[in-house]
Structure 1
Amino acid sequence: MSPEQQNISPVHDRHIALGAKMADFSGWQMPIEYAGVKAEHTAVRERVGIFDVSHLGKALVRGPGAKDFVNSCFTNDLNRIEPGRAQYTMCCNERGGVVDDLIAYLKSDDEVFLIPNAANNAEVVRLLTEAAPDGIEVINQHTTYGVIAVQGTKSDEVLTALGLPVGHDYMTYVETDWEGQPVIVCRTGYTGERGYELLPAWAATGELWDALVMAMKPHDGAPAGLGARDTLRTEMGYALHGNELSTEITPVMARAGWAVGWKKDTFWGKEALEAEREAKSTRISWGLDVTGRGIPRAGCEVKDAGGAVIGTVTSGTFSPTLGKGVALALLDRSAAEGDDVVIDVRGRDVTAQVKKPPFVEVGVRE
């Protein structure tokens, strides 16, 4: 596969045929929207939508003691789960900054499958490879699998129409086949709605996409782009690497301490994160429920009632569900839920209230 092809999804031709607006995302040409972000967002919240997220990274760590090795590197504790389950975790640097947040799928004590973010896949593979002891193999599988997310209240019906397994618990997965091709069916997602992420072989991804498009038609489903994916995750308060998490923004700052195995003997960045957790001096993540007229964007300053700058917006968008602006921000420890604040949106003050996300209530774990 040539370098040019590596940056094109296996569903690329389908996106073009559907008239998708395409844009560069982490070096990949991906669909931002088809019929419009609001329509696609609403389809997921009310019915069902499908997303091509094949740009996401994939890697396999295997060999005797692979689970223990990965556990010694990443923040969360793989001993909390058993084979057949998935876990959100983070790869940190020595300062506690987040190199990437990712999903680890525990296959066995000797095999762990990883889905990093697209832009960070190579770096995660590099760091693991450099740290791996003899006998542990780290394999970059970025273009071995495609990824299609099926999200929404009708997601079970769509998968059932294709003969794929449904109903397994949140953060579990099933390895099965479809039309003679292997596919992994994961009860995961990034929208807050009930849903699944399907991992077919790269070459079979287009055929599975076509079948899903047909299967969701009776439910008035819609293909959805990364624009709707972003509005959906922001409504839930889900972190996006590069915004709410980065090499400068730690799990403590992002309120992601729940994904840290604090009692583990070791993981990358442990000492720095323990010191930061104890000091309680860094800014931390909050939601901002906009009460004025305006849409905050990343980088906007946040001021308290007295006009003092107390933080910065990390993500901001128009919420199609609520019909107004919502944002995530890093704020000083002096901020508290219910506080009235002002966001500087291109020189204009927009009022908001500090809130702990999510901004909308959905059935993510149903």
Structure 2
Amino acid sequence: MSTTDGTDLLTSPLHDRHTALGATMGAFGGWSMPLSYPGGTVAEHMSVREAVGIFDVSHLGKLSVTGPGAADFVNACLTADLGRIGPGQAQYTLCCTESGGVVDDLIVYLIGPDEVLAVPNAANAAEVADRLRAAAPAGVTVTDRHRELAVLAAQGPRSTELLGAALPGADGLAQLDYMAFTDAGEIRVCRTGYTGEHGYELLVPAADAPAVWDALLAAAAGLGGRPAGLGARDTLRTEMGYPLHGQDLLPEISPVQAGSGWAVGWSKPAFWGRAALLAEKETGPARRLLGLRATGRGVPRPGMDVLRDGENVGVTTSGTFSPTLRCGIALALIDTAAGVGLDDTVTVDVRGRSLDATVVRPPFVPSRVR
């Protein structure tokens, strides 16, 4: 499989496993990844909500930042305050431009004062690496480990039970705090995920990934679980109101606009984009990311106009059918000056047809990550 410009797509260490399962493959961030498996996205989504789903997200980047003061260096670049966590914990953070836009959102694993592992999105991994390398002081090295490590995710209320059955040495996972990680042999297990469910992400040496995947699938079969593709990952994260870079976060969309100010260490003395973001926070953003829940029949998609009383007040950034709610949902950037508030009714222009929706504050369904 190739991209539209003819470039060959990268493949996960599990590519042959996915094709053997009959997965529908698609291009995502320069990688060929499973979008869904036989049975479909809705079944995979509900498996995660009710039991457990297993994802291959090996397309995610992996950047190792090492050397004296590596953690302090990363803290001076990215938005969240690494000083608020300790070794063995992870943190959601943002890489911003000096004008306050978002280059990428990522998870950082704090291994120690001299080592951090950053996990950016696939499409932005090289740019994040370039920015870190350009700013790194003498002695601090940024190493691309993208092909060394696979990333698997077990998400759902039975995920702890699944890992206990599938991973030797994974004792004590039930006591692992949210956003904390531990090592089970060569596998790093972190209590993270992007579904809103209790779950884990596993950093696995690439050569070991097929055996780990097989063990997870075998254990899942007895728990009502199944493999899940990126289609279900998208519907699950949209129900949570979690942003997707490239849609809800962009160099033209700031954390203040996207409702991601909670991932900014506002009292830190330095991070990329600090002055611009502080100024925007002080004056208030010109637009805000809000949730829309359709009250009519129809499914909003990204890039659709949002109107109130016939006047354009914003645009959808994400939109999908919610398998949990059985209705259309969306995230939308709404002009602050329009005065649109929670519980107001707006209209989404769905290819020339008006779809009524109620403005809500995400998540659309309760989160169970903790």
What is aligned with 1:22?
Answer: 25
Q: Which amino acid aligns with 2:34?
A: P
What is aligned with 2:323?
Answer: 320
Write the distance in 2 (CA, Å) between the matches of 1:144 and 1:91. 23
> Are 2:163 and 1:155 aligned?
no
Write the distance in 2 (CA, Å) between the matches of 1:144 and 1:127. 21
What is aligned with 2:91?
Answer: 87
> Are 2:367 and 1:356 aligned?
no
Write the distance in 2 (CA, Å) between the matches of 1:264 and 1:155. 36
3-state SS, counterpart of residue 221 of structure 2: helix
What is aligned with 2:259?
Answer: 255
Aligned-pair distance for 1:279?
A: 1.3
The alpha-carbon distance between structure 1 residues 124 and 281, as it changes in their structure 2 partners (threshold 3 A), is closer
3-state SS, counterpart of residue 365 of structure 2: coil
- Aligned with 2:345 (options 340, 343, 347): 340
Give 5+ residue unaligned stretches, structure 1: none
Write the distance in 2 (CA, Å) between the matches of 1:161 and 1:227. 27
Write the distance in 2 (CA, Å) between the matches of 1:36 and 1:355. 28
Write the distance in 2 (CA, Å) between the matches of 1:6 and 1:67. 33
Give 5+ residue unaligned stretches, structure 2: 1-6
> Are 2:318 and 1:310 aligned?
no
> Are 2:104 and 1:117 aligned?
no
Write the distance in 1 (CA, Å) between the matches of 2:296 and 2:368. 28
Write the distance in 1 (CA, Å) between the matches of 2:30 and 2:125. 12
Write the distance in 1 (CA, Å) between the matches of 2:69 and 2:257. 32
The alpha-carbon distance between structure 1 residues 184 and 70, as it changes in their structure 2 partners (threshold 3 A), is same
Q: Which amino acid aligns with 1:224?
A: A
Aligned-pair distance for 1:363?
A: 1.2
Aligned-pair distance for 1:5?
A: 8.5
Q: Confirm or deny: 8 A CA contact 2:9 2:27 kept in the other structure.
A: no
Q: Confirm or deny: 8 A CA contact 1:6 1:143 kept in the other structure.
A: no
What is aligned with 1:171?
Answer: 179
Write the distance in 1 (CA, Å) between the matches of 2:68 and 2:233. 38
Write the distance in 2 (CA, Å) between the matches of 1:361 and 1:66. 37
What is aligned with 2:102?
Answer: 98
Write the distance in 1 (CA, Å) between the matches of 2:94 and 2:285. 21
3-state SS, counterpart of residue 153 of structure 2: strand
What is aligned with 2:54?
Answer: 50
Write the distance in 2 (CA, Å) between the matches of 1:58 and 1:81. 20
The alignment's C-alpha RMSD in Å is 1.0
Aligned-pair distance for 1:362?
A: 3.4
What is aligned with 2:3?
Answer: none
Q: Which amino acid aligns with 1:234?
A: T
Q: Which amino acid aligns with 1:7?
A: L
- Aligned with 1:229 (options 233, 249, 253): 233
Q: Confirm or deny: 8 A CA contact 2:9 2:32 kept in the other structure.
A: no
Q: Confirm or deny: 8 A CA contact 1:313 1:330 kept in the other structure.
A: yes
Q: Which amino acid aligns with 1:215?
A: A
Write the distance in 2 (CA, Å) between the matches of 1:307 and 1:223. 44
Instruction: Show the 5 A alignment for 1:60-79.
Output: 60-79=64-83
Q: Which amino acid aligns with 1:14?
A: R
Aligned-pair distance for 1:281?
A: 3.8
Write the distance in 1 (CA, Å) between the matches of 2:285 and 2:100. 15
Question: What is the aligned residue count?
Answer: 357
The alpha-carbon distance between structure 1 residues 6 and 108, as it changes in their structure 2 partners (threshold 3 A), is farther
Q: Confirm or deny: 8 A CA contact 2:9 2:30 kept in the other structure.
A: no
Q: Which amino acid aligns with 1:233?
A: R
Write the distance in 1 (CA, Å) between the matches of 2:320 and 2:190. 28
Q: Confirm or deny: 8 A CA contact 1:41 1:228 kept in the other structure.
A: yes
Q: Confirm or deny: 8 A CA contact 1:103 1:114 kept in the other structure.
A: yes
- Aligned with 2:140 (options 129, 136, 139): 136
Write the distance in 1 (CA, Å) between the matches of 2:246 and 2:346. 24
Write the distance in 2 (CA, Å) between the matches of 1:348 and 1:338. 22
Write the distance in 2 (CA, Å) between the matches of 1:145 and 1:337. 43
Q: Which amino acid aligns with 1:317?
A: T
Q: Which amino acid aligns with 2:329?
A: V
3-state SS, counterpart of residue 150 of structure 2: coil
What is aligned with 1:208?
Answer: 212
Instruction: Show the 5 A alignment for 1:238-277.
Output: 238-277=242-281
Q: Confirm or deny: 8 A CA contact 1:216 1:222 kept in the other structure.
A: yes
| TM-score normalised by structure 1 residue count | 0.96
Cα deviation 1:167-188 (Å, max 9, x = unaligned): 20000000221xxxx1000100
What stretches of structure 1 move > 6 A for 4+ residues in a row?
none
The alpha-carbon distance between structure 1 residues 281 and 188, as it changes in their structure 2 partners (threshold 3 A), is closer
3-state SS, counterpart of residue 257 of structure 2: coil
Range with bigger deviation, 35-44 or 163-172: 163-172
3-state SS, counterpart of residue 330 of structure 1: strand
